Structure 1
């Protein structure tokens, strides 16, 4: 089954993101996936600051990461995401591909929930932006 993506962005590995083995340190993939989600939200006109002022805060509840092919310094990669909703959870399916050969480097599932004034709740703002209303 082919993944359905709703957003993608291109990035480049920077030298300081690599470990002594010359490959991207595993923790940096979290930054890549988070940056992709932020860019996606910006593309939809969502402002974290504005929603925070309204008492709406999305938080990561769970992540599952599968490392497939390592990225190295100066590699250009494409970060893609798809999204679905299950109950109160927004589930982002995120894949990172090395651009030179389209090899899958990371497959991630990231589950977010919204805190509304500090309590777990449903956000109509996010539902509307993501097309779930």
Structure 2
């Protein structure tokens, strides 16, 4: 697995976040034929890691994807490409690089701040 050392942070969820995956194009040809639920394991402003039973042949094809998820009531939509794939039993884990979009990056940062504050307060109140 590759790590991006230039990333400011990567937020790993204790419980996976449910999201959706939509294939926009394959090898530059517009598609819109596939959409499915995914589990998001971690998020950064520039990308994320997700799990799905869908086996994309990323070495043979160029995929352009849309990943959508909700954090703290904010719907986040990220467009981008798969960077890597790892098989985990019958599930496939993917690294996903979002296209550079400052507005989306700021939305993700703000949503993660709110989410982490909520998680921190919940843990604090349990003590």
User: What's the TM-score once normalised by structure 2's chain length?
Assistant: 0.26
* Structure number having the greater strand percentage: 2
Question: Which is bigger in relative contact order (C-alpha 8 A, separation at least 6)?
Answer: 1
* Structure number having the greater helix percentage: 1
The structure having more radius of gyration, on CA atoms, is 1
User: What's the TM-score once normalised by structure 1's chain length?
Assistant: 0.25
